[in-house]
Amino acid sequence: MSINMHSASSPVFVKMLGNMLHWLQLARTHAETKKFDTSVYLGLRLAPDMLPFSRQIQIASDAAKGCVARLAGIEIPKWEDNEATMDELEARVRRTIDFVNSVPAEQLIGSEERVIELVMRNGTVLKYSGEDFLRHYATPNFYFHVTTTYALLRHAGVSLGKPDYLGR
């Protein structure tokens, strides 16, 4: 089968978000062993002017749901970014996987030339074709926040390796 706009997006998000749930499980075990509360993770940052752990997960979620909804031409689910515990962050990841899986492949296939307009926080409008949006905006942005989440856990001493990252 040929690669298409569904096969290049939804299964990627679902797989990496599933891997992330596995990292969060290992983070729980680490916290138990070291006897600290998992809520400590939520505020960790790689640099003082980088977003904290909880925001990294929320934005990875946003990147995935926003990409799939935009390519499919449906409304992006709006979720409050109010996760304050590890349980709630895990639920957010699961809800994202469920949403991505709920959008039929046919709604994404053929979206290469769909016009995608992104309004930035400063009001600038970025305009992409569907394919450029997927490969030069949504995917790198998704991986940015997924990898930063992983890096924060590694930094915090959680025992993770490349096979956990890739999900083999």
Residues making contact with a second copy (CB under 8 A): 1-5, 7-8, 11-12, 15-16, 46-47, 50, 112, 126, 131, 134-137, 139-141, 143-144, 147-148, 150-151, 154-155, 157, 162, 165-168
Q: Which is nearer to a second copy, 74 or 126 (CB)?
A: 126
Tokens of 167: 């999900």
Least distance in Å: CB of 62 to a second copy?
A: 13
Q: Which is nearer to a second copy, 40 or 84 (CB)?
A: 40
* DSSP state, residue 28: H
Least distance in Å: CB of 17 to a second copy?
A: 12
Distance CA 95, CA 167 (A): 19
- The secondary structure of 86-141 as a DSSP string is HHHHHHHHHHHHHHHHHS-HHHHTTGGG-EEEEE-TTS-EEEEEHHHHIIIIIHHH
Phi-psi region of 25 (alpha: psi -120 to 50; beta: other; left: phi over 0): alpha
Q: Which is nearer to a second copy, 8 or 88 (CB)?
A: 8
Least distance in Å: CB of 102 to a second copy?
A: 20
Tokens of 57: 């997960």
Q: Which is nearer to a second copy, 79 or 165 (CB)?
A: 165
